[in-house]
Amino acid sequence: MTTDAIAQTEAPASHGGASGTVFDIGYQRYTGRREGRGRSRLAIFKDGFRTALGFGRGARAKILPWFFIGVLSAIALVMAIVAGAAERLGGPGTAERADLPSHSDFYGIASIILFVFAAVVAPELLCPDRRNRVITLYLVRPLSGADYITSRWLAFLVVMLAAAWLPQVILFLGLSMGDPSPALYLRNHWLDVPRFLGAGAAMAAYTTTLAMLTASFTTRRAYASVFLVGLFIITTPFTVGLAQEIEGAAGQWISMFNLTNIPVHVNDVIFGDVSEITEDAPARELGARMLVAWFFIWTLVPGAILWWRYRRLTP
Amino acid sequence: MATGEPLLAVERLTKHYGNVVALNDVSFSITDGITGILGENGAGKSTAIKILLGLLRPTSGTATVLGQDASESIAVRARVGYMPEHDCLPTHVSAAEFLTHMAEVSGLPPSMARTRAADTLRHVGLFEERYRAIAGYSTGMKQRVKLGQALVHDPAFVFLDEPTAGLDPAGREDMLALIRKTHREFGISVLFSSHLMADIERTCDRIVVLQGGRLVQSGEVGQFTRETETVFIEVDNNRERLVAALETRGVVVTIDHTGLTIEGPDESVYDHVRDALVEAQAPLRRMAPRRRALTELFERDAETANAQGAA
């Protein structure tokens, strides 16, 4: 309707003769800006980010994501406190001499927590949309299936980056503050910052993609979470045990299928160090290039499958 | 779009799912107003709507919406709304939050999305309950939220797939009133799919009838009912004498338990009725024109189609 019908109702005068007028301006056509596909993608991204962290939801929705972020930060804080105490009590360089865990070791220590975090939270971004069939309403708007999954993937990637980087930032600040000479520490260790940003990005991209792909196969969040946790937890002892039994190239390749280690190998390559969980892995003998290429295969191929599944999705 | 140009048009549209033919060489066009798409379950209504929304690609033929190819243009979807038949609502968010989000997904800036969501919820009668979680809504309220999300971005055209499904009689009346309001007050054209002929007859200006994936009829609702117009007559007594008097004048009469029905009347029939009433000395209690319901028309068309299929 283009008429802006204005219905006017006189309210009865009461208590001293004051009167009011209620206007019903009727239905108004929207004549403002329509921002198209970019706004649609941004809306899906924002919603995914808020859903992952429980923003705008009840307390229950916030418990799990913030619990995991809290645990990861607490690990970093403890590492920083221990290193700081060693430096203060034992003198400069004590932490390094004692080989106390630092930035290069963090993802080796915290990888399983990051995997469980992804397994628990990622399905929240995809499963309810398909279970409640809200996805139908998205796909009849100026948005393709590929737009939808890319936006959701990016939203969860940002959350995973935050979960991976925040503890490293806490650790870096803690180690700087704990050192008897913070300025000297910063000068000697500034390269740790781009290294942990790179290693954290690899960890986040890998866990985000695998978790989202698994979640895309079911409408039940619990199934996706249990499958993912099982996948990470079961493949580790299975591949470690088998790789020890079978020597040579076959053992090295079996070791490559330890899904927990794949991004940790990249972390090791970036820091030029060896994490505790990868030091005995036969896969290391295949060399840095192969380990990095393997990481890209395990990130890009699941990513392509995820994109392809949603690109052809029809409700 | 130029005035008078169809808002939607399908031309020789065919859709196969494997060996199953969901739509078979269907052509029709729709202009401004409320159009009903009528057919039994499996007639091809939802398939036609999904092709028009660009969710399915036709096997052959074309579907255009607001002048653009439905399967090629994503941008045109910013100007159409869709209310599916099935449940499609999240449970843990409020109607206000959900509609705001859907308006943003349709391309509206956040501040305008919030304003439009509140306005739309007022128009569909959910303003007071807008901050309650959708999980606590009744079926009728959920249907209103579904309609609201289809309208929140102010589309030029809205597709409603079985909007009265699952509603009680009062809820159904309210929903039909809202659909009429959507066009008459909001100025949004409607394509309304239903298998309930009474709903279509009471709400729509035009109708498209599908059966077994084929187009049976399309046109104005009035045109369908006009061609089967009847006159109903009730008299106090001498009914048999009146029937005889009418039949001697060549008028075809059907007797039912309350009165007489005269088929396909033209102007001369009223003169014959007047003369027959006088001749039979039958006191007239009531005489009124009646239209056959679409139900009867649909049954007739279905019988014709079945007979053709058998042949």
Amino acid letter for position A311: R
Nearest-angstrom CA–CA distance, A77 and B226: 82
**Averaged pLDDT, A193-197:** 96
Amino acid sitting at position A192? D
- B50 contacts A314? CB cut-off 8 A: yes
Which chain B residues are Cβ-neighbours of A46 within 8 angstroms? 104
Interface contact A29, partner B, CB < 8 A: yes
Residue A65 has pLDDT above 90, yes or no: yes
| Residue A203: strand, helix, or coil | helix
Please determine, for residue A2, whether its predicted confidence score (pLDDT) is greater than 50: no
Chain B residues closer than 8 Å to A43 by CB = 101, 104-105
Q: Is the pLDDT of residue A207 over 60?
A: yes
Instruction: Report DSSP letters for chain B, one per residue.
Output: --TTS-SEEEEEEEEEETTEEEEEEEEEEE-SSEEEEE--TTSSHHHHHHHHTTSS--SEEEEEETTEETTT-SGGGGGEEEE-SS----SSSBHHHHHHHHHHHTT--HHHHHHHHHHHHHHTT-STTTTSBGGG--HHHHHHHHHHHHHTT--SEEEEESTTTT--HHHHHHHHHHHHHHHHTT--EEEEEES-HHHHHHH-SEEEEEETTEEEEEEEHHHHHHTT-EEEEEESS-HHHHHHHHHHTT--EEE-SS-EEEES--HHHHHHHHHHHHHHT--EEEEEEE---HHHHHHHHHHHHHHHHH-
- CB distance from A30 to chain B under 8 Å? yes
pLDDT score for A106: 93
Residue A17 has pLDDT above 90, yes or no: no
pLDDT for res A57? 83
Beta-carbon count within 10 A of B180 CB = 15
Q: How confident is the model at residue A96 (pLDDT cuts 50, 70, 90)?
A: confident
Range of weakest confidence among A5-9, A187-191, B11-15, B179-183: A5-9
User: Which CA distances in Å does B215 have to A136, B14, B40, B176?
Assistant: 26, 11, 12, 25
pLDDT on residue A4: 41
Residue A214: which residues within 8 A CB-CB, separation 6 or more? A119, A122, A123, A224, A227, A228, A231
Determine contact: A146 vs chain B, CB below 8 A.
Answer: no
Is the model's pTM score more than 0.80?
A: yes
Q: What is the pLDDT of residue A280?
A: 81
3-state secondary structure of A22: strand
CA dihedral A242, A248, A252, A255 (to 10 degrees): 10
Average pLDDT over chain A reads 88
Distance of residue A56 Cα from the nearest chain B Cα, in angstroms: 9
Mutate to test the interface with A, among B52, B74, B142 (most CBs of A within 10 A): B74
Backbone angles phi, psi at B235, to 5 degrees: -120, 160
User: Measured between CB atoms, which of A42, A132, A140 is closest to B89?
Assistant: A132
Contact B295, B198 (CB under 8 A): yes
End-to-end C-alpha distance for chain A, whole angstroms: 32
Q: Is the pLDDT of residue A47 over 90?
A: yes
- Tell if the CB–CB gap between A1 and B116 is shorter than 8 Å: no
CA atoms in the 13 A half-sphere facing the CB of B223: 8
Would you state the pLDDT for residue A274?
A: 85
The residues, ordered by sequence, that sit 6+ positions from B93 with a Cβ below 8 Å of its Cβ are A56, B101, B133, B134
Please give the pLDDT value at position A16: 53
Per-position pLDDT tens, chain B of length 311:
555 678 899 999 999 998 899 999 999 999 899 999 988 888 898 899 999 998 889 999 999 999 898 888 888 889 999 999 889 999 889 999 999 999 999 999 999 999 999 999 999 999 888 999 999 999 999 999 999 999 999 999 999 999 998 889 899 999 999 999 999 988 999 999 988 878 888 899 999 988 888 998 888 887 776 666 778 889 988 888 999 999 898 888 888 777 888 876 677 888 888 999 999 999 998 888 776 655 666 666 666 656 655 55
Tell me which residues of chain B have a C-beta less than 8 Å from any C-beta of chain A. 50, 53-56, 74-75, 77-78, 80, 82, 84, 86-93, 97, 101-102, 104-109, 112, 116, 119, 123, 149, 153-154, 184-187
For residue A119, the Cα-to-chain-centroid distance in whole angstroms is 10
Average pLDDT over residues A211-237: 91
Contacts of residue B304, defined as CB under 8 A and 6 or more positions apart, other chains included, come to none
| Three-state DSSP state, A102 | coil
Question: Is the Cβ–Cβ distance between A185 and A117 less than 8 Å?
Answer: no
**pLDDT confidence bin for A240, thresholds 50/70/90:** confident
CB contact under 8 A, A56 and B123: no
Distance from CA of A36 to the nearest CA of B (A): 5
Give the CA count within 13 Å in the CB-facing half-sphere of B76: 20
Residue A264 predicted with pLDDT over 80: yes
Reported as a pLDDT band with limits 50, 70 and 90, residue A278 is confident
What is the complex's ipTM, to 2 decimals? 0.85
Q: Suggest the residue from A40, A47, A60, A141 to mutate for an interface test with chain B (most B CBs closer than 10 A).
A: A141
Token pair 């859907």: residue: B102
CA distances from A237 to A205, A265, A285, B135 (A): 24, 17, 19, 43
**Cβ A134–B89 below 8 Å, yes or no?**
yes
Say if A47 is an interface residue toward chain B (CB within 8 Å): yes
